Every structure is written in structure tokens, then in C-alpha cells.
Structure 1
Amino acid sequence: MAVSGLAYSAADPKRTANTVVLDETGVKNLRIETVEVEETDFEQTIFSLGRIEAIPAKIAAVSSRISGRVVELKVAPGDIVKKDDEVAKIESRQPGDPPPVVALKAPLAGLVTRVEKRLGDPLEPESSLLEITDLSEVFAVARVPEHQAGRMKEGTVAHIKVASLPNEKFDGELLRFGTSADKASGTIDAIFRLTNPGGLLRADMRAEFSIVLSKRSEVVSVPRAALQGEASNRFVYVKDFDLANAFVKTQVQVGEMNDRFVEITQGLLPADEVVTRGAYSLSFAGASSVSLKEALDAAHGHEHAADGGELTPEKKAELAAKNAGAGDNHGHDEGGASPLWMYASIVLLVLLLISIFAKKSGPGSAEEEETAVKSNKKEVH
């Protein structure tokens, strides 16, 4: 795990190999986000799907006590009304000039969810004109496996999310179970009541439930997005406290998991910062975009060895000796020739001299031979 004042050294090659150092561009491209590890309450939960429903006792119909026709309609589906707001006017069929007109008012505050009639349509006492639903509280109905339902009791809390409101979280309490189970799916409805501030939740919205079965305090846990690797080899990426944009692949031992968090029993301490968003991408980041030596030099303000270790006096002396040796070899190469090159130069020089001598002596010898032949002919005659 990352420790403040961390000193890398060649004696810890495994840690060095597991450290990824990025530049600012790399961090932005991978969209790295971190969270601080804390000891928190850890909940054992079960996951379920379901839906939002209006509470039947909070649904009201608006109707007329007399027969007539709609002469004025003041609301439409989706409008919010208050109790006793005038929503429509009905012209009575009773004789009169003009015929009597009756105003219809909202019996409760809420959302106009249905309008059954149009302007001018006839309206009878046994039919409704429109429907108003109070959504200040709603039911959230979860389809729970039968074998899990036995672990739940009245008052059990569920954390509820809906797909259309991804940034909102709602908590509900279990009221009761449905009257019968679904034979095909092996589930039973668990009905939770929850408040609906602002009326954001609407009937028939799909919902996800995280139903809390138990809770433990002071548990070290991280978001599930931070956990990487296979079941036999779990790890997280920890932000280094000492180096900017450096992340260390850290082995961890896990305990229980729920739909949001995973318990860490070994490998992390409170105040460590683990990567959540971008953790999977770090596994494939490959070679660091910044060398470990460069990162340490910038962080500490002095030079480090190539492997990231501190330059001790011994290492400095060793490095200086290597540099001096390299300089001597370089000077020898430039100041003198190798034995092989010297031998080759001598052979080439000898061959050149022989060639020049042969060219100079060749024509003279031919003339002397010709003169000697002529002299012999004269003596014979």
C-alpha cells in the first residue's frame, strides 16, 4: 500500500514493476478518479428488480353529481393541482336560460394523471372526468426470491434507484409482502413505502433495490469498481502519496461484497486513495508514460538511480567509475588505432610500393634486353 514518504529502491523490484506513472494527459485520457478508503458501516444486501406504484388510497377521481356536458376544461395530464382548485365546468341538462353550470374541484393535491373527456363531451354521474394522484409518497414493489423473503421483516430498509433518475437515491421501508407468489419466477412482491420529494418518482418506473439484511460498523471497504483481477488474484490501484500521477498495483484480500461495495480484510489502510474510474484501463496502460526516475527526481528535487533507488555514496562512486571507464574507452578509440587496422594499413602500403616500383622498372628492362639482342647479332655476322 502507499505510504507517505515512500522510498523506492532496487531492493523492491516487485513494487517498481507494479507502479504505473502517467503524465497529466494520460490521467485525463483515462479519466482517473479516486476515493479515500474509510472505515464505514458495511451492509449485507440482496439485489432485486421491481417497479414504482402509486398508493391506491392517494388516487382520486373527479366526477359530476349531475348529467351534463363539459363546457370548460382547465387542466391536462401532467398538470399539478392543489386541493379545491377548479379543474372543469359542467353545463347541466336541467332547463334554464342559460342552463345551470357546475364547477368541479380537485378533491386532493397532486398530479393530473388522466383526463377521460374532451371539451363538449357528455358526462354522467357514474363516469369520471379525470384522475388526480398524490405522489408525495409511493410504493416501490420489489420481486424478491422466495428463499430470501424469509430473511426480511417489517421495517427492513431498501436503497432504491430508478433508471430515469440516475443521480437520485431513495430509501424505503418494508410494509408487507404480496398476497401470493409468482410460480413461474419463484418470487414474491415486497412492498416498500418511500417518500417522493418533488414528485420525481412516477408510477410504473423500473426500479433497482438493494435490500439491507444486516449491517456491521468500522469495516474497511471500497467501491466495487475499484476491485480488479480474478477471484484468486484480487488487486486495486492505490494512488501514491509521494509521486504525482503514480499508481501502485496492490494485492488485497476481500471479504463480503454487496451490490455497491466490497470489504477489504488485508492490503489497505484508511486514508489510502484507490482508483475507481479508470482502474480497469490502468491494467492495460503498459509502460509508464513517465519514467520512475523522472517522477522521483521531480518529487524529491534530487537525482535518483535508473531503477528509482536513492543514489547512496556507494552507488554514486560506482556510477562515476562506470562513466570514467566509458570515457577512457571512448578516448582510446579516437586517439589511437586498433592493432588490426594498423596491420591492414601496413599491408596496403607495401602493396602500393610494389606496384609503383613495378611500373617504373618495367619499360627500362625491356630496352636493355633489346640492345643486348642486337649486339649479339652483330658479333655473329
Structure 2
Amino acid sequence: MKLFLTTLCIAAFATLARSAEIEVSAQVAQNIGLQTAVAELRPIERSVSALGRVEAEPGSLVAITSRVAGRVTALAVHDGQRVEVGDFLVEVESRVAAQTPPRLRFTSPIAGRVLEAEIPLGGAVEPADTLLTLVDLSEVDVVGEIHIRDLANVQLGQRVRVRSAAYPGEVFEGELKTIAANVDRQTGTRRIFVHTPNLQEKLLLGMRVQLSIVVEDQARAVVVPREAVRGEAGDFFVFRELPSAGGNAGLSASHERHYERTSVVVGLRDDRFVEIIDGVLPGDRIVTRGNYQLEYLEAARGEGSAAFDDGHGHTH
């Protein structure tokens, strides 16, 4: 009787182990946007987070003004237009009493964009008026606010990663170049200024961004991307891609992928990676996108249903 029960338990465990393996067709993997990344052995960073806003780099704003009173007789540019050094911008006819009033032509002193055309065609001009404002966006300042509890960790020269909701998944690299000399009395924060290259001009003035200031490099550890880890304190897990029949993870000859829910113990984390203390080895391929759908599939099969909607009305 004891032998029978032992055999039954072993058989049940084997069935449970097999059921923990999730099989996903190539079509389903494509439809749910399933992506994976390889667990790496690398230093993990400690970072401080802050919110910020994109501002112009000092010296990158140029105001075009007239030295004489008059009116705008020609306007060749509009807001947002790209200009190069020497491009014609605007012409002003002087109010000086003459048979042929002199006209002043203004060209661009920088390569950049028209931030604002402030005087319309035909508009009156005074010497104190700004006709146009130009800006060079190839480099920008990202102004952030650091909470007082993080001040001791923030220093000049530290690397800063800048992210914008406008470009999910894209990271802009900057350097902390200035720290304000005062703390805001109301918010208890201190401003920082991050010099950020912006050659593609994706970071626009006024854009809100998130900053991650790298304050320390920790020892090398096994890490996976943050989005790979699911669960909550005491019950974290990842979905690990199992090797195919040929011995490699990825698409097998039967055009199916196999995954296994794996419990993990996590350690340090920064804005990109999570340290895995136990449960994953370097080289393991871990699901980073589509893991929510794999949870659903795992739960459905645990209830006895092997069906999974691929998003096109078909089940697998």
C-alpha cells in the first residue's frame, strides 16, 4: 500500500511538472508581442529618480531684434521651421523719411529652429521689439528636482538617464553639470541641471521627463530587465524559455515555444535591471514582454483548459 501511494505521488508530481510547462505556438507568440532577453552577469547600478523638464541650453537661444523702428515687409520663416546659418529670416523697412526708405534684412546666425515668430508680416516694429526667437536643440538642459533625502548621493559628473513618455523604451544619456545653490522652501527639493545631447531633436522645450541619476555601481550580479519580473514581495517569478529539442532556447522545429514559470529571489534593482539571487542563471532566456498573457495561459491550463485566444478569433 505504501509503495502504491509513493508511486502515485511520484506520478502526480510528474504530471504537475509537465503541466508547469507552457507551450505557445509561433503565431500566438507573434500576436501577443512576446519578447525575451538573456539573463546577464553584469554590475547593477544604484540610482536616484527625479522628475524634470527640458529647457534650452544656456547660449542656445537667439533673439532677432531690429535696431530701427519700422514695419515687417518680408517674413520667410514660421514657428518650428528648420534654419541654417545665413538663411534669410525677415526684412524690416525703416520709418526714416526718404524717397526710398532703407530696408534691413536679417539672416540666421545659428543652425536651429524658429522657436517663435513674434511680429507678423506688416506689423509695426520698435527697436526694443523681438522679431524672432531661434533655438539650437542639438543640446538641451534637463532641469530636475532632487528630494532633500537624496542630496548626499548626488554629485557633479554623474551619469543620468532621461526618459520621455513620448518615446517609450528609448533612453537619452546625459551628465549632471550643475546643482542649484538653494533648496526650494516649499517643496524641499534642490534643482539639478543635466546636459543632454539631443542631435535628433526629440527632446523638446517644456517636455516633462523622468531622470535616473546613477549614484553607484554595485558588484557584478545576475540581472534581468525589470519588466521580466512579476509577482509581489515573497512571491516573485519569471517565465523562462526552455531549450528546444535541438538544445537551444527559441523556436523549435515544431514551431512552438516552451516556457516555465520559475520562482526567483530578487535583490538590488535600478531603473533598468533587477538582481536575481536565486532561480535564474546567466544565459537563461527570460520573457520580458507577453508575460502577463503567459500568466493568463498558465491559469487557464491549470483549470483544465488548454485553449488560448490568439487575438484573431482562433484558439490554441
The TM-score bracket by the shorter chain reads 0.7 to 0.9
Aligned with residue 301 of structure 2, among 287, 296, 320: 287
Aligned with residue 268 of structure 2, among 256, 264, 269: 256
Q: Is the 8 Å Cα contact of residues 54 and 209 (structure 2) preserved in structure 1? A: yes
CA apart distance, 1:149: 1.9
Aligned with residue 116 of structure 2, among 106, 114, 133: 114
In structure 1, distance between residues paired with 2:241 and 2:166: 33
Residue correspondence of structure 1 range 235-274 to structure 2 within 5 A: 235-242=237-244, 244-274=256-286
Counterpart AA for 1:262: V
1:234-280 deviation per Cα after TM superposition (whole angstroms, max 9, x unaligned): 11111110364221111211111122211001111122111111212
Residue correspondence of structure 1 range 76-115 to structure 2 within 5 A: 76-115=78-117
1:22-68 deviation per Cα after TM superposition (whole angstroms, max 9, x unaligned): 34454345432211112123211122211100123211111111221
Q: Which residue of 1 aligns with 2:312?
A: none
Q: TM-score, normalised by structure 2?
A: 0.83
Q: Is the 8 Å Cα contact of residues 15 and 248 (structure 1) preserved in structure 2? A: no
> Aligned to 2:18, what secondary structure does the other structure show?
helix
> Aligned to 2:119, what secondary structure does the other structure show?
coil
Q: Which residue of 1 aligns with 2:248?
A: none
> Aligned to 1:283, what secondary structure does the other structure show?
helix
Residue correspondence of structure 1 range 140-159 to structure 2 within 5 A: 140-159=142-161
Change (3 A) 1:43 1:108: same
User: When you count strand as a share of all residues, which structure comes out higher?
Assistant: 2
> Aligned to 2:293, what secondary structure does the other structure show?
helix
Alignment of 1:16 with 2:28, yes or no, is: no
Q: Which residue of 1 aligns with 2:196?
A: 194
Unaligned runs of 5+ in 2: 1-9, 246-255, 308-316
CA apart distance, 1:10: 4.5
Aligned with residue 43 of structure 2, among 41, 44, 47: 41
In structure 2, distance between residues paired with 1:284 and 1:102: 70
Q: Which residue of 1 aligns with 2:187?
A: 185
User: When you count helix as a share of all residues, which structure comes out higher?
Assistant: 1
Counterpart AA for 1:54: A
Alignment of 1:170 with 2:172, yes or no, is: yes
Change (3 A) 1:147 1:174: same
CA apart distance, 1:219: 2.0
Residue correspondence of structure 1 range 204-215 to structure 2 within 5 A: 204-215=206-217
**Coordinate RMSD, CA, aligned:** 2.2
Identity over the aligned pairs, expressed in percent?
33
Q: Is the 8 Å Cα contact of residues 138 and 194 (structure 1) preserved in structure 2? A: yes
1:95-124 deviation per Cα after TM superposition (whole angstroms, max 9, x unaligned): 322211111222322211111111111211
Q: Is the 8 Å Cα contact of residues 253 and 265 (structure 1) preserved in structure 2? A: yes
CA apart distance, 1:184: 3.1
Q: Which residue of 1 aligns with 2:66?
A: 64
Unaligned runs of 5+ in 1: 1-8, 292-381
Q: TM-score, normalised by structure 1?
A: 0.69
In structure 1, distance between residues paired with 2:93 and 2:243: 77
Q: Is the 8 Å Cα contact of residues 141 and 189 (structure 1) preserved in structure 2? A: yes
Change (3 A) 1:242 1:83: closer
Number of equivalent positions: 283
Deviates more, 1:145-154 or 1:274-283: 274-283
Q: Which residue of 1 aligns with 2:230?
A: 228
Deviates more, 1:203-212 or 1:31-40: 31-40
In structure 1, distance between residues paired with 2:64 and 2:269: 50
The structure number with the bigger radius of gyration is 1
